[in-house]
Amino acid sequence: MGARAVIIGAVIGALAGWVTGGQKPFDAELWKAAPAEKIRLSMADDLMHSRLLVGRSRQEVLTLLGTPTNTDKWQDWDMIYVLGPCRCLFPIDYEWLVLRLEDDRVTDARVVID
């Protein structure tokens, strides 16, 4: 029975790592070099937990993250960055970083799925 539990635990752990794509600390240069790839998605949680974006000016965000993604999605938001295929079992949709600005400063930052 113990070996069975270990195998089940290993399978669940492998699936969890596969679905989340692994987490990485935010790295601005790596972010800008890998648009629309899983690498951005793997850094998104660190970026959100650090609250690195809230309070920054538009220019500071551009320096940190590069040019926003050109899209007609999320029109209620001011700056949008594609992160990559969603961290789900069947990655049909994409995850996006969306930013809202007031007086040229980020007031809200979220990761959303289309």
pTM of the model: 0.78
61 lies in some domain: yes
pLDDT in tens, 45-71: 999 999 999 999 999 999 999 999 999
42 lies in some domain: yes
**pLDDT value, residue 23:** 85
Number of residues written out for the chain: 114
13 lies in some domain: no
**pLDDT value, residue 27:** 94
101 lies in some domain: yes
Name which of 3, 72, 101, 85 is nearest 44 in CA terms.
85
7 lies in some domain: no
Domain with 31 in it: 23-113
CATH number of the CATH domain containing 94: 3.30.1450
**pLDDT value, residue 14:** 43
Q: In the chain, how many domains are there?
A: 1
**pLDDT value, residue 87:** 83
5 lies in some domain: no
**pLDDT value, residue 11:** 44
49 lies in some domain: yes
**What are the Cα distances from residue 113, in Å, to 86, 96, 97?**
7, 6, 9
Q: b vs e for 88-105, b when ≥16 Cβ sit within 10 Å of the residue's Cβ?
A: eeeeeebbbbbbbbeeee
108 lies in some domain: yes
**Contact of 4 with 11, CB cutoff 8 Å:** no
Stretches where the chain sits below pLDDT 50 are 5-6, 9-11, 13-20
